[in-house]
Chain A
């Protein structure tokens, strides 16, 4: 069985406060801010590793990122991924979710013979949640978002290692609960935080990861036409970037609880809510 985990390096949320908006270029200045694995992608990887531990097979880490993100992939390998593929090319820079999903889909086709793709439901920086569903669409397979649990997973292989009877039952979040969905493999699942608690890389894992293969693929390796990706190949463009404006009274007091309570009640009363 072959599981592909999509993984995105994102700026470490602990350092977001250090980012600033360039006043004229309208870009985020994020120099010196370290990258980490997108939090939900860790959950996706964890789920892949758990399935592998039960069923056997191979877990491939797939990421589109600049070359300096190699260490992030190494970390995913230390957690237990078998090998990694980094899609890196200047032509990819500025790709929106549609172009990104297209690039990833070409890489998945190149890997071939996959049974399951796992993604984090959304990234913590862009927060679109588009790439999972769009990747499934490009690949012509079913994709399910907001998966909080893989309830059942049946996988049988024939003599050649191809999936014979393969299906999963998953719980997918909806606004007021969840639905249980049965789906055939190959399948793409975008997972949410509740699905598991990701493991940490062990020391042995870190040593082992040094020996694992990271393949780097460019646009030409994937036979991608550069005009279909990057800034030019992305239908959406960023027209502006700005900080949200806060218009609040900002009256701050420091009083004894009794006084503070009375002042709060006064405010509530003024609004006719008491």
Chain B
């Protein structure tokens, strides 16, 4: 229907993925701009409480699709079911999160619906024709492109986690429409088990202080110093690709295009050259400090405060100074 904005809400262990609330908030903004309504789609069994939460975060109605099996994978059958459901309602816009699930589901759904899809959007807007403007990074964020889908519907986009702000929760009224979705035939794909490697409560995306390190750290010894600095400032440690490859840092600590997006009050980068694929993940930080020994490092063009110097001298000195300061405060 014209003016209808849809958002796919994703949950893990009966709680929303933070990004689902982020895109719901953005969806509300877009729906208001086009004078339309906002619907959320939620798939799973026994989730009416969560559906109510979606209303409180801005949805006018929630389509709760309940498959017979709660341990489902978004396989071809589920894509078929969802595609049929979308066709039935014919929304104008359909937003999904660029999560591990969303990045697989959205393109399959777009292919089934023969419509356009943009990936990892960092901004959305509406132009004078009422079309959805979708800003996506290309060449690892070195270039930004605005994508439109003028003729096909729905206009589909996946949104990068961490770039949209969550609106305040308020008690609102909205419809919750439950529907049983039967699946036809035997699935050709089966989830055997799920293995958790990352602590459930990873602080990186929510940390007020992010201390990040790159190749320039040179080894594990200095990586431990980063961790100490992060502890002193009650922050989290992030990494670029090389420290992960070298085994100093873990995969889930990676920040940037292929990792997480952070927006702390303070970001400090040590030995980070400032490649765009990392910078896109930190560009919304309130304040960026960089320490690097290379005067030509790109990060110096993209920071608020840059220290040109040997981090192997600056880092221990900084830790020592902060330790004194923190101690004094605690006493």
Please provide the chain A residues from 153 to 212 with a CB less than 8 Å away from any CB of chain B in the complex: 169, 172-184, 194
B106 cross-chain contacts in A, Cβ below 8 A: 130
Indicate whether A246 sits within 8 Å of B302 (C-beta atoms), given known contacts A127-B257, A134-B108, A142-B76: yes
Known A261-B318, A262-B321; judge A254-B309 contact (CB<8 A): yes
Residue of A whose beta carbon sits closest to that of B307: A260
Q: Which residues of A contact B138 (CB under 8 A)?
A: 125-127
Q: Which residue of chain A lies nearest to B317 when distances are taken between CB atoms in the complex?
A: A257
Do the beta carbons of B146 and A239 come within 8 Å of each other?
yes
Residues in B neighbouring A258, C-beta threshold 8 A: 317, 321
Interface size range of chain A in the complex: 35 or more
Q: Decide yes or no whether A98 CB sits under 8 A from chain B.
A: yes
Q: Which residues of A contact B308 (CB under 8 A)?
A: 252-254
Which chain A residues (228-258) contact chain B, with CB distance < 8 Å?
234-244, 246, 248-255, 257-258
Q: Is there a chain B Cβ closer than 8 Å to A133's Cβ?
A: yes
A97 at the interface (CB under 8 A from B): yes
- Residue interface bits B240-259, CB-to-A below 8 A is 1, else 0: 00000000000110000100
Chain B: interface residue count, which band?
35 or more
B15 CB–A CB distance under 8 Å: no
CA distance A36 to B325 in the complex (A): 51
Question: Residue among A140, A178, A248 with the most chain B CB within 10 A?
Answer: A248
Q: Is A217 an interface residue (CB 8 A)?
A: no
Residues of B within 8 A of A131 (CB): 107
CA distance A267 to B316 in the complex (A): 18
Interface check B73, CB cutoff 8 A: yes
Q: Are A176 and B252 touching (Cβ within 8 A)?
A: yes
A25 an interface residue at 8 Å Cβ cutoff?
Answer: no
Contacts A176-B196, A176-B197 hold; do A142 and B149 have CB atoms under 8 A apart? no
**Alpha-carbon distance A92/B144, docked complex (angstroms):** 23
Q: Are A127 and B140 in touch, CB under 8 angstroms?
A: yes
**A257 pairs with B233, CB closer than 8 A:** no
B200 in complex: contacting residue of A176, A241, A251, CB < 8 Å: A176
Min CB gap A226→B, angstroms: 17
Closest-by-CB residue of B relative to A129 is B103
Whether A243 and B192, one on each chain, are in contact in the complex, defined by CB atoms closer than 8 angstroms, is no
| Across-interface contacts of B288 in A (CB, < 8 A) | 248
Asked if B100 CB lies within 8 Å of chain A CBs, one says yes
Given B107, B144, B195, which contacts A177 in the complex, CB threshold below 8 Å? B195
Establish whether residues B117 and A97, one from each chain, have CB atoms under 8 Å apart when the complex forms.
yes
Docked-complex contact B233 and A268, CB < 8 angstroms: yes
Considering the chains assembled together, what is the distance between the CA atoms of A229 and B185 in angstroms? 33
Inter-chain contact A240/B146, CB cutoff 8 Å = yes
Is B26 an interface position by the 8 A CB rule? no
Give the residues in chain B near A125, CB-CB below 8 Å: 138-139
Most-contacted residue by chain A among B120, B313, B317, B322 (CB, 10 A): B317
Residues of A within 8 A of B139 (CB): 11, 16, 19, 28, 125
> Are A137 and B190 interface neighbours, CB within 8 A?
no
Beta-carbon contacts under 8 Å, B62-99 to A: 73, 75-76, 79, 99
B252 to chain A, nearest CB (A): 7
Q: Is the CB of B133 within 8 A of A133?
A: no
The answer to whether A67 has its CB under 8 Å from any CB of chain B is: no
Check B142 against A236 for contact (C-beta < 8 Å): no
Compute how far the CA of A73 lies from the CA of B316 in the bound complex, rounded to whole angstroms.
Answer: 50
In the bound complex, CA of A237 to CA of B149 (Å): 6
Q: Which of B271-325 touch A at CB < 8 Å?
A: 276, 280, 283, 286-289, 291, 300-310, 313-314, 316-318, 320-322, 325
Closest to B320 in A: A261
**List of B residues within 8 angstroms of A251 by Cβ:** 304-306
For the complex, is B237 an interface residue (Cβ under 8 Å from A)?
Answer: no
In the complex, are the beta carbons of B143 and A134 less than 8 A apart?
no
Once A174-B100, A257-B309, A258-B317 are accepted as A-B contacts, the answer to whether A183 and B188 lie under 8 Å apart by CB is yes
CB-CB nearest in chain A for B98: A129
Chain A residues positioned under 8 Å from B49 (CB to CB):
none
**Chain B residues, CB < 8 A from A183:** 188-190
Q: Which residues of B contact A240 (CB under 8 A)?
A: 145-146
Nearest CB in chain B: distance from A171 CB, A: 8
Residues in B neighbouring A173, C-beta threshold 8 A: 100
The 4 closest A-B pairs by CB, nearest first: A235-B116, A236-B116, A128-B119, A137-B111
> Can you list 17 A-B pairs with a CB-CB distance of less than 8 A?
A28-B143, A98-B111, A98-B114, A101-B111, A130-B107, A145-B104, A174-B101, A175-B99, A235-B151, A238-B146, A239-B148, A242-B143, A243-B143, A251-B304, A251-B305, A260-B307, A264-B314
Interface residues of A (CB under 8 A from B): 11, 13, 16, 19, 21, 28, 96-98, 101, 124-134, 136-138, 140-146, 169, 172-184, 194, 234-244, 246, 248-255, 257-258, 260-265, 267-268, 271, 273-274
Besides A252-B306, A271-B265, 8 more A-B contacts (Cβ < 8 Å) are: A127-B140, A128-B117, A145-B103, A180-B192, A181-B192, A248-B302, A261-B317, A267-B266
State the B residues within 8 Å of A (CB).
12, 17, 73, 75-76, 79, 99-101, 103-108, 110-112, 114-120, 127, 133, 137-152, 188-198, 200, 202, 208-209, 233, 251-252, 257, 265-266, 268, 276, 280, 283, 286-289, 291, 300-310, 313-314, 316-318, 320-322, 325-326, 329
